[in-house]
Structure 1
Amino acid sequence: MSGESRNLWLIVFKNFINSFKPRQIRGNHMGKDYIGNAYYEIPANPREGKRKPTRWYNPAKGLDFQDPIPSEWEAWLRMRRPEPPTEEEIAKNVAIAQMKKLNAAKIEEKRLAEGGSLPSIPERGHNSFPTYPEYTPGDPENKGNR
């Protein structure tokens, strides 16, 4: 083969050297949630072959990805919504969640005041399946009754 060809080992060596250089990722700051997580985005650029934006978040100091992120921001991160949530939307959803907690506590107090007991937890294991009087597991006489 004559002509210029790419030197594979030179490309591999350049990529290896470049892998040690710190990446300069600078995204647009899109917002912050009530936990303290900061959200960023690098917009899509079809001219460079990038069809989707890149989105990520940096957790608040000391949390290190331990707490779940709010559902509005998670939907934005997973590309389910094109625009980040607004402060008003987040405040409205937090108020609805608090109202639901209060209503659930009131219903529980009312149920206990009426003499209701705690809900029973179903028993787990092989005894929790329904039993029928006409069928006994392991009985050889019942094999043909299917």
Structure 2
Amino acid sequence: MANKKPTRDLIGIIWTNFWRSFLPRKYRGDYKGDDYFGNKYFEIPANPAVGQRKERWFEPADKEAFDQELTAEWEAWLRGRREEPPSRDELIKNLQVIEMKKRNAAELDAQYAKEKDAGALPKQVEGETIGTYPKYKDYEINPGKKPMDEKK
């Protein structure tokens, strides 16, 4: 038998595409998860047969607030940098890391405030104005000129 190549039926392709255009489209996506801010995430899977790419979006917890926060994991999923949505365990673990960093920053801030109050910082030259770099007696103010102690 001879190998027959399938012929393209142009009218059949046009009719099939015309008929598919009347079929209902999927506007409501599949629920994929939520984050600890209360945002809900959805996806419509890709359908290459009709030339549709996958769509991802989120519904904010407060629809009136325009300064919504998104977790880094969900934002990566929305932008297509990761294929699978983040798991609940991953979100909890990263939230704990964020809270630990906030505690550590508050402890360091309190420690530096105590050192500043105790006078641990070097003495600066009197007459310094606000907004300039600190001036110390041991360093030159202008390159090539003598330090401040030697002028006296």
Name the TM-score class by shorter chain: 0.5 to 0.7
Please give the per-residue CA displacement for 1:101-134, whole angstroms capped at 9, x wherever unaligned.
11111111112222367xxx956xxxxxxxx779
Structure 1 residues 9-35: Cα deviation after superposition (integer angstroms, max 9, x where no partner)? xxxxxxxxxxxxxx8611100001111
CA distance in 2, matches of 1:24, 1:43: 10
Cα offset for 1:49?
Answer: 1.6
Preserved contact between residue 29 and residue 44 of structure 2 (Cα < 8 Å): yes
TM-score normalized by the length of structure 2 = 0.57
Give the match for residue 82 of structure 2: 81
Structure 1 runs of 4+ aligned residues shifted over 3 Å read 61-65
Is the 2:30–2:44 Cα contact (8 Å) retained in structure 1?
Answer: yes
**Compared with structure 1, are the counterparts of its residues 133 and 107 closer, same or farther at alpha carbon in structure 2 (3 Å cutoff)?**
closer
The aligned residue for residue 99 of structure 2 is 98
2:45/2:55 contact within 8 Å kept: yes
Q: Structure 2 CA distance, aligned partners of 1:122 and 1:79? A: 44
Aligned length: 101
Give per-residue Cα distances to partners, 1:55-76, cap 9 Å, x unaligned: 0111114544432211111111
Structure 2 CA distance, aligned partners of 1:122 and 1:34? 41
Larger Rg: 2
Gaps of 5+ in 2: 1-24, 122-129, 133-141, 145-152
SS in structure 2 at match of 1:76: helix
What is the CA–CA distance in structure 1 between the aligned matches of 2:109 and 2:61, rounded to whole Å? 35
Q: Percent identity?
A: 45
Question: TM-score, normalized by length of structure 1?
Answer: 0.59
Tell me the residue number matched to 1:108.
109
CA distance in 2, matches of 1:64, 1:110: 36
Q: Are 1:34 and 2:36 an aligned pair?
A: yes
Amino acid aligned to 2:112: R
Whole-angstrom distance in 1 between the partners of 2:62 and 2:110:
38
SS, match of residue 36 in structure 2: coil
**Which residues of 2 match residues 2-13 of structure 1 at below 5 A?**
none
- Superposition CA RMSD, Å: 2.7
Conserved? CA contact 2:37–2:69, under 8 Å: no
Equivalent residue for 1:71? 72
